[in-house]
């Protein structure tokens, strides 16, 4: 079965197809709307409804019935999906009215309205391809973006007007930095009354233009992208409140970044950050005038947490902030969680109950509620990774464990389990052999995977380090889905080690901030994890490979350049090799402005002459996140230094590598390279 894993891995989009997601609960808690494809190999996402009382599922929208088998997406939607790492097609996003009686979605650029009860779907004619349609809370109007303009359609009269339009700028779309680095995928928000919108205006004129060429098709014009590299200008962003009556009110704010906004029954609020990200400011807005409500300051940076701000039914502010060494849930100005419980996100606020994610152990993500100051864990006792949402007394909990290779979605009504939503994920066919061991003086979270056929004591296994290793993301989590690819590598004859070092979440703010001004400490932690695992397992430390993608690719190249005494071969996929070529928000958060002098120590180009181990560089030539110049510049430096290496360019491939054939063969080519390099 393992021989077919690369193909299955590719066809299932890394085993993400068929998983229920995108949950919306009706106000009375009686219905759950969600997205899911029909099978684990079907890339067409459908819209479904789950009846909480009966446990019955109902297919609401099938894109194939609407004739959308082959999607023709506008460039803005392709970019949005790349930023959100959306690998599927069909109905990948939708928005409802507040009663959850109607929903809108875009399909191949066309706008559709669906009556959720009747299942009747109506296509609405628009003057151009539609991006991010959203109903107002009353369900009377739908807003959407097309051609950079924000338009609003009256569903009763079918009158469709451009509410905000201007040549050379966009209204209602999140800029690159917001969507790529701040997880803000939207650029407009409806008022609770449905008669006005808060709208972001984005002017990319100051941003440097980069050109992404397609060398395999030299007749094609290069794609021009506005890329804000570290130290260069960002897009200019502004906020306005547009009324359906034609009014327009500016909402001024002095900071570089708009982190998020919320407009609920308790008013309009925005969250902003200065460019150095050492402060986060919450403002309420009335008549276009912002009033500072809260300011959090940190000498390193302030972390953006999803789901806040929000409000309890009495208007109390729900917030998350660092306090006494922990990341804590705050109600008004009072911390309600202990510093030892690291809050990950706020998932929902249902009346006076806050549903949130938190970790007491960094390898687990549990779901908790806070109600009247009382904390209750609502996810299962079994260690795992859980998320969810809540409304109207109904709670959806979705999660997976180390023993499960798929997620389980449970529906609770007033705290009682009342049903499940099926997952259609394919089984990998792999027998997971993963153990968690703390390593090194910092007790780094480390996973060791051995071949299912391996008998301890029979032979020492060559090692493959398989990290991401960078800030903001984890690999060592109590979820079997996290380790399917690593287990396949183990079946090829490796002891695979996955380690989360300094900078990764779940262990508190101080641990995350240890990468400030120096990314190379992440390599020290990989070495520490390797040596710590070798004290507990029979590992052949004379044959150690390392592979990774994105920050993991940077880490893999860094490993063979600076620690050839430890690492004997590397596969570096889409690596950042020169941090001045990466974007402002991410890079400056950790390394500061380039003028501060922290970049050279973490960049790779000056290390080219040190290479003495086999190195395979892999890069998608259509990548507009980590552009191919990173790999090409390192390759040029290696050539100038006379250092042999291998480059695998992927024509037409982005940072996601979504193409099925590419994803399959990329695994096999890496395997061939590492087996030869490690003997």
Give the angle 65-408-467 at the CA atoms, nearest 5°: 100
Determine the 3-state secondary structure of 138 from DSSP. Answer: coil
- Residue 51: phi, psi to the nearest 5? -90, 115
Any domain includes 221 = no
- B/e letters for 23-33, b = 16+ CB within 10 Å, e = fewer, are bbbbeebbbbb
Q: Is the dihedral of CA 481, 483, 489, 494 positive or negative?
A: negative
Banded model confidence at residue 297, pLDDT cuts 50, 70, 90: very high
Q: Express each pLDDT in 144-157 by its tens digit.
A: 999 999 999 999 99
**Domain endpoint, select from 219, 251, 283:** 251
Query: For the chain, what is the domain count?
Result: 3
Better-predicted residue by pLDDT, 415 or 126: 126
For residues 267 and 246, state if they share a domain.
no
Q: Is the dihedral of CA 666, 551, 322, 364 positive or negative?
A: positive
Any domain includes 344 = no
Question: What CATH code is carried by the domain that includes residue 167?
Answer: 2.140.10.30
Question: What CATH code is carried by the domain that includes residue 629?
Answer: 3.40.50.1820
**CB of 256 within 8 A of CB of 177?**
no
Q: How many CB atoms lie within 10 A of CB 590?
A: 23
Query: Given the structure tokens 């506008």, which residue do they identify?
Result: 74
Task: Return the pLDDT at 656.
Answer: 78
For residues 73 and 136, state if they share a domain.
yes
For residues 266 and 246, state if they share a domain.
no
For residues 578 and 501, state if they share a domain.
yes
**CB of 646 within 8 A of CB of 617?**
yes
Strands 539-549, 461-465: pairing is: parallel
Any domain includes 167 = yes
Alpha carbons 259 and 521: distance in angstroms, whole number: 28
Banded model confidence at residue 3, pLDDT cuts 50, 70, 90: very low
User: Cβ contacts of residue 260 below 8 Å, gap of 6+?
Assistant: 182, 184, 270, 271, 304, 309
Any domain includes 629 = yes
- Residue 527: phi, psi to the nearest 5? -65, -45
For residues 286 and 173, state if they share a domain.
no
Question: What residue numbers bound the domain in which 263 lies?
Answer: 256-298
What mean pLDDT, rounded, does the chain reach? Answer: 95
Any domain includes 640 = yes
Determine the 3-state secondary structure of 521 from DSSP. Answer: helix
Any domain includes 190 = yes
Any domain includes 365 = no
For residues 493 and 468, state if they share a domain.
yes
For residues 148 and 261, state if they share a domain.
no
Go through the chain and tell me how many residues it has.
Answer: 679
For residues 185 and 268, state if they share a domain.
no
Q: What percent of the chain has pLDDT over 90?
A: 90
Task: Report which of 98, 77, 85, 80 is spatially closest to residue 26, judged by C-alpha positions.
Answer: 98
Task: Report which of 579, 511, 525, 531 is spatially closest to residue 551, judged by C-alpha positions.
Answer: 579
Instruction: Tell me the average pLDDT across 100-111.
Output: 95
Q: Express each pLDDT in 235-286 by its tens digit.
A: 999 999 999 999 999 999 999 999 999 999 999 999 999 999 999 999 999 9
- Residue 395: phi, psi to the nearest 5? -125, 135
Banded model confidence at residue 84, pLDDT cuts 50, 70, 90: confident
Better-predicted residue by pLDDT, 658 or 428: 428
For residues 175 and 283, state if they share a domain.
no
Alpha carbons 330 and 351: distance in angstroms, whole number: 16
Give the angle 518-524-529 at the CA atoms, nearest 5°: 140
**CB of 421 within 8 A of CB of 506?**
no
Task: Return the pLDDT at 664.
Answer: 84
Instruction: Tell me the average pLDDT across 436-442.
Output: 96
- B/e letters for 625-656, b = 16+ CB within 10 Å, e = fewer, are bbbbbbbbbbbebbeeeebebebebbeebbbb
pLDDT surpasses 80 at 577: yes
For residues 102 and 246, state if they share a domain.
yes
Instruction: Tell me the average pLDDT across 315-323.
Output: 98
For residues 510 and 547, state if they share a domain.
yes
Any domain includes 3 = no
For residues 274 and 181, state if they share a domain.
no
**CB of 407 within 8 A of CB of 42?**
no
């Amino acid at each position: 079965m393992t021989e077919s894993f690369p193909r299955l891995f590719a066809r299932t989009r890394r085993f993400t197809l068929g998983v229920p997601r995108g949950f919306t609960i009706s106000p009375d808690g009686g219905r759950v709307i969600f997205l899911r494809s029909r099978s684990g190999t079907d890339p067409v996402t459908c819209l479904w409804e789950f009846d909480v009382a009966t446990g019955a599922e109902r297919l609401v929208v099938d894109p194939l019935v609407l004739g959308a088998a082959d999607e023709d997406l506008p460039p803005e939607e392709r970019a949005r999906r790349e930023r959100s790492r959306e690998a599927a097609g069909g109905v990948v996003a939708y928005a409802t009215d507040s009663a959850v009686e109607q929903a809108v979605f875009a399909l191949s650029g066309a706008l559709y309205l669906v009556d959720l009860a009747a299942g009747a779907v109506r296509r609405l004619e628009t003057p151009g391809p539609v991006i991010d349609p959203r109903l107002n809370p009353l369900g009377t109007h739908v807003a959407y973006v097309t051609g950079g303009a924000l338009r609003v359609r009256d569903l009763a009269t079918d009158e469709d007007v451009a509410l905000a339009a201007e040549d050379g700028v966009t209204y209602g779309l999140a800029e690159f930095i917001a969507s790529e680095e701040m997880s803000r995928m939207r650029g407009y928000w409806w008022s609770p009354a449905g008669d006005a919108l808060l709208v972001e205006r984005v002017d990319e004129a100051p941003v440097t233009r980069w050109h992404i060429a397609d060398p395999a098709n030299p007749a094609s014009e290069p794609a021009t992208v506005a890329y804000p590299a570290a130290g260069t200008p960002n897009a200019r962003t502004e906020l306005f409140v547009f009324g359906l009556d034609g009014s327009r009110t500016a909402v001024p704010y002095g900071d570089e970044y708009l982190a998020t906004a919320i407009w609920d029954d308790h008013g309009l609020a925005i969250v902003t950050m200065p460019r150095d990200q050492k402060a986060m400011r919450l403002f309420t807005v009335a008549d276009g005038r912002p009033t500072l409500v809260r300011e959090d300051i940190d000498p390193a940076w302030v972390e953006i947490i999803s789901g806040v701000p929000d409000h309890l039914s009495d208007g109390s502010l729900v917030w998350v902030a660092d306090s006494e060494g922990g990341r804590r849930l705050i109600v008004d100005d009072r911390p309600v969680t202990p510093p030892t419980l690291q809050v990950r996100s706020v998932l929902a606020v249902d009346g006076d109950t806050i549903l949130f994610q938190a970790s007491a152990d960094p390898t687990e993500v549990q779901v908790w509620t806070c109600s009247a100051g009382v904390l209750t864990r609502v996810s299962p006792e079994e260690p795992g990774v859980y998320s969810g949402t809540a409304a109207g007394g109904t709670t959806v909990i979705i999660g997976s464990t180390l023993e499960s290779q798929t997620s389980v979605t449970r529906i609770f009504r007033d705290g009682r389990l009342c049903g499940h939503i099926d997952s259609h994920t394919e089984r990998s066919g792999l027998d997971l052999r993963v153990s968690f061991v703390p390593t090194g003086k910092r007790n780094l979270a480390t996973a060791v995977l051995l071949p299912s056929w391996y008998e301890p004591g029979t032979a020492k296994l060559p090692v493959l380090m398989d990290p991401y290793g960078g800030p903001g993301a984890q690999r060592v989590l109590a979820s079997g889905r996290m380790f399917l690819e690593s287990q396949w590598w183990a079946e090829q004859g490796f002891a695979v080690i996955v380690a989360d070092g300094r900078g990764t979440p779940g262990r508190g703010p101080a641990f995350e901030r240890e990468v400030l001004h120096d990314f190379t400490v992440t390599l020290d932690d990989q070495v520490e994890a390797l040596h710590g695992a070798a004290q507990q397992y029979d590992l052949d430390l004379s044959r150690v490979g390392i592979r990774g993608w994105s920050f993991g690719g940077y880490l893999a190249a860094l490993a063979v350049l600076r620690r050839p005494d430890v690492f004997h071969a590397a596969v570096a996929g889409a690596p950042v090799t020169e941090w001045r070529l990466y974007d402002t928000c991410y890079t400056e958060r950790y390394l500061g402005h380039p003028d501060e002098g922290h970049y050279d120590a973490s960049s790779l180009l000056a290390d080219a002459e040190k290479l003495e181990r086999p190195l395979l560089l892999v890069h998608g030539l259509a990548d507009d996140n980590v552009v191919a110049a990173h790999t090409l510049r390192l390759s040029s430096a290696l050539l100038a230094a006379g250092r042999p290496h291998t480059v695998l360019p992927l024509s037409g491939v982005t940072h996601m590598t979504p193409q099925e054939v590419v994803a399959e063969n990329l695994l096999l080519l890496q395997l061939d390279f590492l087996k030869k390099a490690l003997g």
